[in-house]
Amino acid sequence: MKAKKNLLIGLVAVLVLLAVGVFAASSLSESEAAASASQNAAIELTSLGSSSEIDSFGYTYQGQTLNFEKREEVVEADSSASDASASASETEPETETVWYLADDPEYKITQSTVNSMLTAFVNLSAQRQLEQVSEEYGLDEPALTFWMTVDGETTTWVCGASNEVTGTVYLQQQGVDGVYLVSESSLTIFEKSKEDLADTTASTSDIPSEEAASSEAVSSEQAASESQAASASAAE
C-alpha cells in the first residue's frame, strides 16, 4: 500500500515537472517571437501621409546635383472633345501638378519617374538602427545625398557604403545621431542623371511624321511647278 502511494506521488511529481517545462518553453517561444518581431519591424524614417506634402526635393549623385520644384499647369483639352465641352468654357480650367528642374524649368522630365522618387520618400524606412558610427560605413564620402522640404523644413540624408550580402546600405540623417540600415533597392530611384530623366516623348511629339513630311514635300513641288508654269506663260 505504501509502495503504491509512493508511486502515485512520484507520478504526480513527474506531471508537475512536465507542466512546468511546457509552460517555460511556451513562455520562452513567445518571448523569442516578440523579440524577433521587434527586430524585423520596419523603422519609419518619415512621417509623410502623402507625397503631396513635399514642397520640393533634390539629390546629389555622381557629382551632379538636381533640385526639383513643382507648379500647377493647365491640362490640355482633347481637341475631339472640345466641341462637347464648349459649355464648360466659362469654368476654371483643369490643372495638374508638374515637377520640373529648378535650374532648368523648360527641360521636360518624365513625371512618372519623379512620382517614384516621391513615393520613395513616403515609404522610406530602415531595417535596423545602429547606435555607433564607424568610418567603415562610408558616410564621410557619401555615394548619394538626398533631401526633401516639407512646410519649410528641409531634411537631408546621406547614403554610405553598401553591404552586398544583406542588400542594405548605411543611411544617416544629417543632424541626428545613429545610423540606419536601409534596403539598397529602395534608394536606386535616386541614381538618375539629368539625361536619364528626360521626357523623350515630349521631344519626339514635336517632330513631324513621315507622312506629314512627305505631304509637305509634295506641296512644295507642286507650288514650284505652278510658279514655273506661270513664268513661262508670262514670257510668251
Residue 192: Cβ-neighbour burial (10 angstroms; 0-12, 13-18, 19+): buried
Strands of the 56-61 sheet, one edge to the other? 95-101, 64-74, 56-61, 144-150, 153-163, 168-173, 179-183, 128-130
**Average pLDDT of adjacent 10-residue blocks, the chain of 236 residues:** 57 55 43 40 93 98 98 80 53 91 97 98 96 91 97 97 92 94 97 97 53 49 57 52
pLDDT at 38: 41
pTM of the model: 0.67
Domain boundaries along the sequence of the chain: 44-67+108-201
CATH number of 44-67+108-201: 2.60.40
Q: Cell digits for 74?
A: 493647365
pLDDT at 233: 53
pLDDT at 92: 80
pLDDT at 102: 98
Q: Where are the beta strands (DSSP E) in the chain?
A: 43-44, 56-61, 64-74, 95-101, 125-126, 128-130, 144-150, 153-163, 168-173, 179-183
pLDDT at 99: 98
pLDDT at 28: 32
